[in-house]
Structures are given as structure tokens and as C-alpha cells.
Amino acid sequence: MANNELRYAFFGTPLVGVWVLEELAAAGMLPSVVVSAPDRPQGRGMRLQAPPVKEWAIAHSIPVLQPEKLNQEFIDEVSEYGCEVFLVAAYGKILKQRILDLPAHGCLNVHPSLLPKYRGAAPIEGQILADDSDVGVSFMLMDAEMDHGPILAQDRIAPPHWPLGRDALSELLARAGGRTAARLMPEWVKGTVSPVEQDHTLATFTRKTEKEDGLIDPDGPARENYLKYCAYEGWPGLYFYT
């Protein structure tokens, strides 16, 4: 199977998804359809803003679906594209079993950590805060539990220095994940890749970042404060009370 013959749907929303898509496009693997979150009001004027993945898809003449809910109407729409597999990277919605069962070859996910470590909503921040430079990307077959499915491949990535800021680490791992997906997705569809169950006893978990996480003690450990600075760059940033 040539790369450009594989029909797949890409699920993603923020800039992280664009970095994955750029690597797939470089390998000649454009998706048949992109599924992204709906446009949302942003900025002082609260104008509707398209998510970065939607903007990328439009620029590449790829059809876009933006369902509020992954209901029967969405199932009917996405089924029209005849996709063999779904690829998910930072989509922002949980896919229930009836969505996971739609494509003949399942739903695959690019996850920016070496699973089972750093499951959950904030794996990038989790790795930085833990001062864990053993970073990498997991390419996995999704199941109904978060970041729980069997692994198709893992690639360790050597950062240029440590710690990296959140944006730099996000891009490094997203692009690595895109290259991994481009290499293995056709092989998975052909049946030449064997999934390996995760060791769930080793799982660690991250949670969604909150504004309060940026609070620091300026007299506290310098390394810990610097790791927070790297993990929370942009938002929520750091603050303290005097």
C-alpha cells in the first residue's frame, strides 16, 4: 500500500495537531478528512476563531468536520469518507466505544510520553515538573480508557538540552509522533504490526493544568521553581504573593 492510498481521518484541534500533520504531509500522507473542535470566541473582542488544525486543513483543501457532539449525525458524516483508520492527536474530546469501532482498523493515537508513564491531560507538563529527561512518544491503539490501549511503537527522543519549555517539548514530541505515525500506520493497516499490552502497574497520571498551579514560593527550591517556569510558560505562568 502506497502512503497516499491510505484513507484516514485525523482528529486534532490545537497547534500540536498541526505539527503532527506537517510530518504526515511531508511523508505524502494527507488525511481524507479532518475532525476538529468547533470554532470558539477568543480574544478581547470574543470573535470566533478557527482552531489551528482546521486552518491547516483548509489551506490544504481537506474537508473539515467540527461536531459539538460525536453523535449519530457525526457518525453518518464521517462514515461517508470511507476511512480505514482514525488517527488522534490532541483532539480534546473522549472517543466512546461506538466511535472507536467505526474504522475497520481502529483508532490510533499519538501520545507525547513513554506510556504507561504520564497518562492523562498534561503529559508535557508532567514530564517537565518531574524533571524527567527520558522523553519520547508512544503510538498506540486506543481503547475506551484514557491512554490505556496497547502500544504499536515507542520512540525515545533526545532533547537538545534539559529542561525544555512546554512549547519546545510539545513540538519536539509532536513532530516525532507524526513521523512515527507516517511510518507505521500503513504497516498497521496491512497487518504487519503487533500491538503490545502496556504494563498498567507502572502507570502514572497527570491532570489538567489549573491557574493555581502557577503559584510559587520565591524562597522555595530554585530548581523546582525553574521547572514550573518551563512547564507553565504562556499559561498559567508563574506568580507569588508578597
CATH of the domain at 70: 3.40.50.170
DSSP summary character for residue 215: B
Statement to judge: residues 233 and 121 lie in one domain: no
Please state the domain count of the chain. 2
Asked whether residue 38 falls in the same domain as residue 75, the answer is yes
Residues 95, 151, 56: CA angle, nearest 5 degrees: 55
Say yes or no: 180 and 241 in one domain. no
Within this chain, do residues 60 and 146 fall inside the same structural domain, yes or no?
Answer: yes
Q: Which domain holds residue 42?
A: 3-206
Average pLDDT, the chain: 96
Instruction: Please state the pTM of the whole predicted model.
Output: 0.96
Note whether 47 and 11 are same-domain residues: yes
Q: Say if residues 152 and 107 touch (Cβ distance below 8 Å).
A: no
User: Are residues 162 and 191 located together in one domain of the fold?
Assistant: yes
CA distance 153 to 193: 9
pLDDT tens figures, 149-166: 999 999 999 999 999 999
User: Cα(166)–Cα(125) distance, rounded to whole angstroms?
Assistant: 7
Residue 1: the pLDDT is 47
82 dihedral zone (left: phi>0; alpha: psi -120 to 50; beta) = left
Beta-bridge partners for 146? none
Residue 44 shares a structural domain with residue 140: yes
**Same structural domain for residues 93 and 180?**
yes
Find all residues with CB under 8 Å of 188, minimum gap 6, and list them. Answer: 85, 105, 108, 152
Low-confidence residues of the chain: pLDDT under 50: 1
CA dist 169 and 106 (Å) reads: 28
For residues 226 and 167, membership in a common domain is answered with no
Instruction: Label the pairing between strands 135-141 and 107-111.
Output: antiparallel
Q: According to the model, what pLDDT value does residue 45 have?
A: 79
